[in-house]
C-alpha cells in the first residue's frame, strides 16, 4: 500500500474496531472530494464500487490488502462439529448412536500460533516487534536464566518437557495459553482461545501487541456438555500440533489433518524452512479463571463441588459432615496440605474419559495450570475485604454511611489521632494491610522474585488468611454476615505457598492483559456482521498487526534509532522529522509542543 498517513489512519480505525469498513470508505470518498491526492486514499474510496455496494466493501478490502507490508499471515480452516439452530443439520449429527446430536460439520477459521510467531519475527528487520511481543525486552541470557530457575525451583513443571531436550535454552520462548468467554453482541457470548509470551506478561504496552488470538467460537454452538467437551478437545489438538511445530522451529510440510498444501501457496513454499531464525517456542502454562480451568480441563474438583480443589484434597464442610480436610483451615499444619495432587497422581486417579484434553500438549501438566491472581484476589477476595472493612466501621460508628465520601476523607486523620483498642477493627486493619503489602511486592518484582521477597509474600498471604479466619469465626458465632470464607481464599493459600517455593512472580500468570485483550477483540467484533464475524475479526486483526509492525519498523530505522532512552516526551516529539500532515493524536501533540497551529 502506498504510504499515506490518511490511509493508515483509516486502516487503524478498521483494524482496531473504531469503525466499520463502510464508514471508512465514506470518509475516504470525502477526502478524495476534498482533493487529497494519495493513491491509497483513492483505493479506500473505491471499496464496494465506490460505495454503491456497501456489503462488498469488506471483501474488497481484504482482497486488496492481502499480504500488506509483506505480512502473509492468513487464517487456516478446520472442521468442527457445532450445534445449529436451524433444521439444516448434517446427517452425521443426526444419527441415533452419535453423541453429538443436533450438530453439523462447520468450517471455522483459526490463526495458527506457529504462523503468528513467524510473522512477528519477520515483521521487522531490527526485531523490534519480536523483542517486545515474544522476548518481553529480555536478553537471551535472561531467558536461559529463567529456564534454569524453573528447572531448579519448579522441577515438577518442566520435568521431562520434550522441548528442553538438547536445545539452547536461551532461544526457547515460554508461551502461555489463555481461554475465556466474552459477550460480543447482546446476549451472545463467544469463546476465545489465545496465546502470549510469559516473558512479555509484565510489560505495560498495548495488549494487542502481546496477546494473539487463535480461535473464536460462539458459545451457543457448544452448549451441550458432549459438544463442549468435543470442541475443547479439537482446539487442544490443533494448538498442540501447532506448538509441536513451534518446538521444532521449522514450518510443517503438511497441515493439521496431514493434507498437502497447494503448491502455489505460501505454506507450501515455506515448508521445512525456519520459523524465526534460531528462535523456538514451547508451552509453558495455561491461564484462565476458575470457570475456564473447569471447562477446558474437565476438572471434577472445582469451586461448586464438595471437593473444591484440583491441587489437593480440601473439602467444603456441610451441615451433616465436618471433615478434617475443611478448606477453611488456614493453619500451617492443615491436613490437606499433605495431600498435594501432582501430575502423576492426576493421571493415575482420573478416568481416561475425564482427563484434560490438554494432555496432548507437549509439556502440559496439572502443575502449570496456574491460578489467576487477578480473579482470585483483585476481583474476588479484595472486594470482600473492602466491603467488610466499610461495614465493620459502620457497625462501630466510625462512619455513618450517610455521606461516605466525605467521611472516608477524614478517616485518615481519625486513625492517626489516637491508638485504637477495638480488637476487630485492628484485625481488619491487619487483613487490609497484609493484602496490600503482598500486592506491592508483586508489583515491584520482575519475573523472578528474590528469596526474601517471595518468603515475605507468603508470610503476608498467610497472615491475611489467618486473620480473616479469626474474624469469620467471631462474626459467625455472633450471627453476623461478615468475613465469609470462600473457595478463593483456599486458592490464595496455594498461591502463597507456590511463590514461597518457586520465587516466580504470579503476575505473569494473571489475566489482566488477557481480559483487556478480550475487550479489544469485542470492539473489533461489534463492527463486523455476526454471520462472518469469526473470519472478519481475524482478518481485521491481521491488518492491524501488519500496520503496527510496519510503524515499529519505521520507528526503529527513523528518528527513534538514534535515541538514547533518556529523552523527555517533548524531546521525543520534537526530534521526529516526519511530515506534519497527519491528524493523529501523536502528531497533534507534537504540533502543539512546537507551537504550530
Average pLDDT over residues 2-13: 77
Percent of the chain at pLDDT above 70?
88
Rg for the chain, CA atoms, rounded: 27
Q: Exposure string (b/e) for 400-423, b if CB count within 10 Å is 16 or more?
A: eeeeeeebeeeeeeeeeeeeeeee
Q: How far apart are CA 431 and CA 433, in angstroms?
A: 6
pLDDT of 67-77, one tens digit each? Answer: 778 888 999 99
Q: How confident is the model at residue 578 (pLDDT cuts 50, 70, 90)?
A: very low
Mean of pLDDT values over 290-308: 93
Residue 87, pLDDT > 50, answer no
pLDDT for 124 equals: 65
Which residue(s) pair with 174 in the sheet?
A: 282
User: Which range is least confidently modeled, 452-461, 540-549, 559-568?
Assistant: 559-568
Question: Whole-angstrom Cα distance, residue 318 to residue 307?
Answer: 11
Q: Mean pLDDT over residues 228-243, rounded? A: 97
- Report d(CA 434, CA 462) in Å as an integer: 9
pLDDT digits (tens, 9 = 90+) for 324-357: 899 999 999 999 999 999 999 999 999 999 999 9
Domain regions of the chain by residue span: 1-65+532-557, 114-291+514-526, 299-355, 373-510, 562-597
- Give the mean model confidence (pLDDT) for residues 401-413: 77
**pLDDT value for 552:** 82
User: Phi and psi for 137 in degrees, rounded to 5?
Assistant: 65, 25
pLDDT of residue 585: 42
Q: How far is CA 153 from CA 119, 125, 546, in A?
A: 34, 37, 39
Nearest alpha carbon to residue 497 among 453, 469, 465, 458: 458
CA 215 – CA 235 distance, rounded (Å): 8
The pLDDT value given to residue 558: 60
What pLDDT is recorded for position 421? 80
Max distance between CA atoms of the chain, in angstroms, equals: 81
Q: Answer yes or no: is pLDDT of 567 > 50.
A: no
Q: Give SS3 for 561.
A: helix
Rounded to the nearest integer, the mean pLDDT of the chain is 86
- For the cut 70, the answer to whether the pLDDT of residue 34 exceeds it is yes
List the Cα angle 587/512/358 in 5-degree steps.
125
What pLDDT is stored for residue 452 in this prediction? 97
Partners of 103 in the β-ladder:
83
Confidence of residue 590 (pLDDT cuts 50, 70, 90): very low
Reported confidence tier of residue 159, pLDDT bands at 50, 70, 90: confident
Q: Place 428 in a pLDDT band, splitting at 50, 70 and 90.
A: very high
Residue 429 has pLDDT above 50, yes or no: yes
Q: Are strands 76-83 and 172-185 parallel, antiparallel or unpaired?
A: unpaired
pLDDT exceeds 80 at position 584: no
- Its sign, for the CA torsion 97, 99, 104, 109, is negative
pLDDT reported for residue 269? 93
Residue 434's closest CA among 400, 361, 385? 385
Side-chain-facing half-sphere of 377: CA atoms under 13 Å: 26
Q: Which helix (H) or strand (E) holds 62?
A: helix 57-64
More confident residue, 392 or 59: 392
CA–CA separation, 399 and 264 (whole Å):
74
**Nearest partner of 415 among 441, 433, 437, judged by Cα:** 433
pLDDT for position 244: 97
Residue among 207, 148, 203 at smallest CA distance from 172: 148
Instruction: Give the pLDDT confidence score for residue 156 in this predicted structure.
Output: 83
- pLDDT band, residue 422 (cuts 50/70/90): confident
Q: Which of 83-87, 99-103, 567-571, 586-590 has the highest mean pLDDT?
A: 99-103
**Band of pLDDT at residue 178, cut at 50, 70 and 90:** very high
Q: Give residue 547's pLDDT band: very low, low, confident or very high (50, 70, 90).
A: confident
Cβ–Cβ contacts within 10 Å for residue 383, how many? 11
Number of other residues whose CB lies within 10 A of the CB of residue 370: 22
Mean pLDDT of 204-229: 93
Higher pLDDT, 225 or 407: 225
Q: Region 79-97: what's the mean pLDDT?
A: 65
Confidence band, pLDDT 50/70/90 cuts, at residue 160: confident
Would you place residue 86 in the very low, low, confident or very high pLDDT band (cuts 50, 70, 90)?
low
How far CA 85 is from CA of 97, 107, 222, 281, in Å, comes to 21, 16, 11, 40
Please say whether the beta carbons of 198 and 181 come within 8 A: no
Distances, alpha carbon 376 to alpha carbons 490, 526, 549, in Å: 10, 29, 35
Across 93-102, 178-187, 539-548, least confident range: 93-102
pTM over cut 0.95? no
pLDDT score at 97? 55
Report the SS3 class of residue 325.
coil
Amino acid at each position: 500500500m502506498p504510504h499515506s498517513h490518511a490511509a493508515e489512519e483509516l486502516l487503524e480505525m478498521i483494524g482496531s474496531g473504531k469503525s466499520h469498513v463502510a464508514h471508512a470508505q465514506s470518509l475516504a470518498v470525502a477526502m478524495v472530494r476534498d482533493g487529497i491526492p494519495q493513491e491509497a486514499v483513492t483505493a479506500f474510496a473505491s471499496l464496494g464500487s465506490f460505495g454503491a455496494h456497501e456489503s462488498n466493501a469488506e471483501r474488497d478490502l481484504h482482497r486488496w490488502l492481502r499480504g500488506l507490508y509483506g505480512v502473509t499471515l492468513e487464517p487456516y480452516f478446520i472442521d468442527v462439529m457445532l450445534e445449529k439452530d436451524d433444521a439444516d443439520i448434517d446427517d452425521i449429527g443426526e444419527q441415533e448412536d452419535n453423541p453429538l446430536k443436533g450438530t453439523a460439520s462447520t468450517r471455522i477459521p483459526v490463526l495458527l500460533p506457529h504462523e503468528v510467531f513467524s510473522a512477528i519475527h519477520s515483521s521487522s528487520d531490527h526485531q523490534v516487534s519480536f523483542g517486545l511481543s515474544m522476548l518481553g525486552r529480555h536478553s537471551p541470557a535472561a531467558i536461559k536464566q529463567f529456564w534454569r530457575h524453573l528447572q531448579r525451583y519448579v522441577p515438577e513443571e518442566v520435568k521431562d518437557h520434550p522441548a528442553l531436550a538438547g536445545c539452547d535454552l536461551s532461544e526457547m520462548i515460554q508461551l502461555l495459553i489463555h481461554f475465556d468467554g466474552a459477550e460480543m453482541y447482546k446476549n451472545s457470548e463467544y469463546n476465545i482461545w489465545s496465546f502470549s509470551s510469559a516473558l512479555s506478561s509484565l510489560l505495560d504496552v498495548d495488549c494487542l501487541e502481546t496477546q494473539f488470538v487463535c480461535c473464536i467460537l460462539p458459545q451457543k454452538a457448544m452448549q451441550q456438555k458432549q459438544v463442549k467437551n468435543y470442541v475443547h478437545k479439537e482446539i487442544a489438538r490443533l494448538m498442540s500440533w501447532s506448538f509441536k511445530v513451534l518446538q521444532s522451529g521449522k514450518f510443517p510440510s503438511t497441515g493439521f489433518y496431514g493434507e498437502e498444501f497447494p503448491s502455489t501457496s505460501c505454506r507450501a513454499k515455506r515448508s521445512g524452512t525456519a520459523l524465526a531464525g534460531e528462535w523456538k517456542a514451547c508451552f509453558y502454562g495455561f491461564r484462565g479463571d476458575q470457570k475456564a480451568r473447569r471447562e477446558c480441563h474437565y476438572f471434577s474438583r472445582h469451586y461448586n463441588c464438595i471437593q473444591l480443589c484440583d491441587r489437593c484434597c480440601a473439602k467444603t464442610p456441610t451441615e451433616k459432615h465436618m471433615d478434617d480436610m475443611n478448606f477453611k483451615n488456614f493453619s500451617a499444619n492443615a491436613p490437606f496440605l499433605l495431600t498435594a495432587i501432582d501430575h502423576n497422581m492426576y493421571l493415575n486417579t482420573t478416568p481416561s474419559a475425564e482427563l484434560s484434553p490438554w494432555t496432548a500438549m507437549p509439556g502440559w501438566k496439572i502443575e502449570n495450570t496456574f491460578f489467576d491472581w487477578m480473579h482470585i484476589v483483585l476481583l474476588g477476595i479484595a472486594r470482600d475485604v473492602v466491603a467488610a472493612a466499610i461495614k465493620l466501621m459502620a457497625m462501630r460508628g466510625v462512619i455513618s454511611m450517610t455521606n461516605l465520601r466525605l467521611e472516608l476523607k477524614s478517616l485518615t486523620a481519625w486513625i492517626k489521632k489516637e491508638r485504637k483498642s477495638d480488637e476487630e477493627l485492628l484485625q481488619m486493619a491487619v487483613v487490609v494491610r497484609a493484602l496490600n503489602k503482598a500486592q506491592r511486592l508483586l508489583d515491584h518484582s520482575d519475573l523472578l522474585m528474590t528469596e526474601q521477597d517471595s518468603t515475605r509474600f507468603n508470610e503476608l498471604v498467610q497472615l491475611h488468611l489467618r486473620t480473616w479466619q479469626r474474624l469469620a469465626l467471631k462474626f459467625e458465632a455472633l450471627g453476623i454476615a461478615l468475613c465469609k470464607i470462600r473457595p478463593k481464599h483456599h486458592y490464595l493459600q496455594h498461591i502463597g505457598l507456590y511463590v514461597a517455593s518457586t520465587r516466580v512472580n504470579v503476575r505473569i500468570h494473571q489475566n489482566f492483559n488477557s481480559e483487556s485483550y478480550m475487550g479489544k477483540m469485542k470492539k473489533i467484533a461489534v463492527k463486523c456482521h455476526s454471520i462472518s464475524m469469526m473470519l472478519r475479526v481475524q482478518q481485521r486483526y491481521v491488518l492491524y498487526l501488519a500496520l503496527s509492525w510496519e510503524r515499529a519498523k519505521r520507528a526503529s530505522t527513523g528518528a527513534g534509532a538514534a535515541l538514547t532512552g533518556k529523552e523527555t516526551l517533548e524531546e521525543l516529539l520534537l526530534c521526529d522529522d516526519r511530515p506534519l500532515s497527519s491528524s493523529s493524536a501523536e502528531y497533534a501533540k507534537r504540533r502543539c509542543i512546537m507551537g504550530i497551529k
